[in-house]
């Protein structure tokens, strides 16, 4: 009876925690993204620390550069991007009117389709609804989404800075909840998860930035319509494995086809060359994708997009990579025999063997100062380790 009550308590506690996580899912998502950002920028902070820059100025410098770069790119692209959006909307309206008139005088199925579509002259009135209610609601939704995005971005940066500053304290706190024999393994597993996620995010960011820059510049030099819109689409679609290539190539081909077939084929060929360059020359230097399952990544992306929309699309790839690294750590922990661990007695025995090796050396030469200092440090570390056993 006691066992049944214990199992029931565990199940109810688990369900309660899951319910709370779902109720506060937005906060949980922001915290997870902040962990990802901190993992991605940590090597840069450590790199600056190697040049004797203290951690706090190094963090402020890195995050300031990230924010300044984001603001600069947004300012640089805002005006040409708005022109492309306006041009696209105007051409879409003109194309709709031409096709509507053609379908009205076309075959039977085209006339049936045209009868179910709004008249081009009343298209704007149909879109905004009575007294502009739909247009007003759309503008309110867009404004709310922009402010939510800005507030979420600021929250992510602040949480990331706090986590990067107090990471060691947080790690000691949650590791103290585990048994002493499992803390080393848990710390190693957590560090590997953080390193892998950071590598993945840096790899995807660099590749997305290069894809957008190279493709946007190439499309602009070719005279292709909407080069910035296509470059942004390429940067987002790059996050989707395999299918992202199709999402990049198909719109480029059809946009180029509106001008000429040779331009469409040239733009398509250029896109494929850039994609192969990133896959073959850039990605292997930043991240080993072969260690991770593409199927699991797609599955996580579908589930999280269905639950959280575009935010789920952003967090799905690094979260899938973290889950795979964690699963590999758990598997290695379960299959590794316990006898492979090195105990304090074995370390002390090896230390004594090293001392005897220098004491029994021929010629009676003194121990070099460097090795002597290392032996003294080893002896102090062994004494400290003995206090915790």
What pLDDT, in 10s, does the model give residues 316-357? 777 777 778 777 777 766 655 544 444 666 777 777 777 777
Examine residue 57 and state whether it is found in any structural domain, yes or no: yes
Query: In the prediction, which pLDDT does 135 show?
Result: 53
When computed from its CA atoms, the radius of gyration of the chain, rounded to whole angstroms, is 29
Query: In the prediction, which pLDDT does 270 show?
Result: 93
Query: In the prediction, which pLDDT does 299 show?
Result: 79
Query: In the prediction, which pLDDT does 132 show?
Result: 46
Do 228 and 305 fall within a single domain? Answer: yes
Whether the CB-CB separation of 234 and 79 falls below 8 Å is answered with no
Do 333 and 348 fall within a single domain? Answer: no
Examine residue 316 and state whether it is found in any structural domain, yes or no: yes
Looking at 109, 134, 165, the residue that finishes a domain is 165
Q: Residue 321: which domain range?
A: 178-340
Whether the CB-CB separation of 214 and 254 falls below 8 Å is answered with no
Do 232 and 316 fall within a single domain? Answer: yes
CA–CA gap between residue 206 and residue 235 (Å, rounded):
10
- The rounded Cα 341 to chain-centroid distance in angstroms is 35
Task: Give the torsion sign (CA, 170, 174, 179, 185).
Answer: negative
Examine residue 245 and state whether it is found in any structural domain, yes or no: yes
CA–CA gap between residue 318 and residue 296 (Å, rounded):
11
Examine residue 92 and state whether it is found in any structural domain, yes or no: no
Do 226 and 364 fall within a single domain? Answer: no
Do 349 and 329 fall within a single domain? Answer: no
Examine residue 266 and state whether it is found in any structural domain, yes or no: yes
Query: In the prediction, which pLDDT does 136 show?
Result: 58
Do 280 and 230 fall within a single domain? Answer: yes
Do 158 and 306 fall within a single domain? Answer: no
Do 305 and 359 fall within a single domain? Answer: no
Number of domains in the chain: 3
pTM assigned to the model: 0.70
Do 153 and 190 fall within a single domain? Answer: no
Do 349 and 288 fall within a single domain? Answer: no
Query: In the prediction, which pLDDT does 218 show?
Result: 92
Among 68, 62, 69, smallest CA distance to 47 is for: 62
Query: In the prediction, which pLDDT does 339 show?
Result: 44
Examine residue 327 and state whether it is found in any structural domain, yes or no: yes
Looking at 141, 165, 189, the residue that finishes a domain is 165
Examine residue 171 and state whether it is found in any structural domain, yes or no: no
Do 16 and 158 fall within a single domain? Answer: yes
Whether the CB-CB separation of 241 and 200 falls below 8 Å is answered with no
Looking at 134, 165, 196, the residue that finishes a domain is 165
Examine residue 90 and state whether it is found in any structural domain, yes or no: no
Low-confidence ranges of the chain (pLDDT < 70): 1-2, 119-147, 149, 181, 242, 290, 310-311, 332-345, 358-367, 386-389
DSSP-assigned states of every residue in 147-209:
HHHHHHHHHHHHHHHHHHHHHHHHHHHHHTTS-HHHHHHHHHHHHHHHHHHHHHHHHHHHHHH
Whether the CB-CB separation of 301 and 243 falls below 8 Å is answered with no
């Amino acid at each position: 009876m006691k066992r049944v009550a214990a199992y029931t308590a565990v199940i109810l506690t688990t369900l309660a925690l899951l319910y709370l996580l779902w109720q506060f899912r937005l906060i949980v998502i922001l915290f997870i993204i902040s962990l990802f950002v901190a993992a991605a920028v940590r090597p840069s902070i450590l790199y600056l620390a190697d040049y004797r820059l203290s951690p706090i100025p190094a963090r402020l410098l890195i995050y300031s550069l990230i924010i300044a770069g984001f603001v600069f790119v947004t300012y640089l692209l805002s005006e040409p991007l708005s022109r492309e959006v306006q041009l696209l909307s105007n051409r879409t309206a003109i194309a709709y009117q031409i096709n509507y008139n053609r379908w009205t005088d076309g075959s039977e199925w085209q006339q049936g389709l045209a009868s179910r579509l709004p008249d081009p002259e009343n298209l704007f009135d149909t879109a905004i609804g009575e007294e502009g209610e739909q247009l007003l609601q759309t503008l309110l939704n867009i404004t709310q989404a922009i402010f939510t995005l800005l507030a979420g971005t600021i929250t992510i940066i602040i949480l990331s800075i706090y986590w990067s500053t107090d990471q060691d304290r947080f790690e000691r706190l949650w590791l103290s909840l585990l048994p002493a024999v499992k803390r080393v393994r848990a710390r190693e597993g957590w560090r590997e998860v953080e390193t892998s996620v950071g590598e993945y995010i840096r790899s995807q960011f660099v590749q997305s930035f290069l894809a957008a820059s190279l493709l946007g510049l190439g499309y602009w030099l070719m005279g292709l319509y909407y080069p910035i819109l296509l470059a942004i689409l390429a940067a987002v679609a790059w996050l989707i494995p395999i299918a992202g290539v199709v999402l990049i190539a198909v719109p480029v081909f059809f946009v180029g086809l509106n001008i000429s077939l040779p331009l469409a084929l040239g733009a398509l060929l250029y896109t494929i060359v850039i994609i192969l360059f990133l896959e073959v020359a850039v990605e292997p230097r930043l991240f080993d994708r072969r260690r991770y399952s593409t199927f699991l990544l797609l599955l996580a992306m579908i589930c999280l997009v269905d639950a959280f929309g575009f935010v789920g699309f952003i967090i799905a790839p690094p979260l899938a990579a973290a889950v795979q690294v964690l699963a590999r750590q758990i598997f290695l922990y379960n299959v590794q025999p316990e006898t492979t661990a090195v105990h304090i007695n074995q370390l002390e025995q090896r230390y004594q063997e090293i001392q005897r090796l220098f004491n029994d050396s021929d010629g009676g030469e003194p121990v070099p100062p460097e090795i002597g200092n290392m032996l003294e440090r080893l002896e102090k570390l062994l004494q400290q380790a003995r206090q915790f056993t």
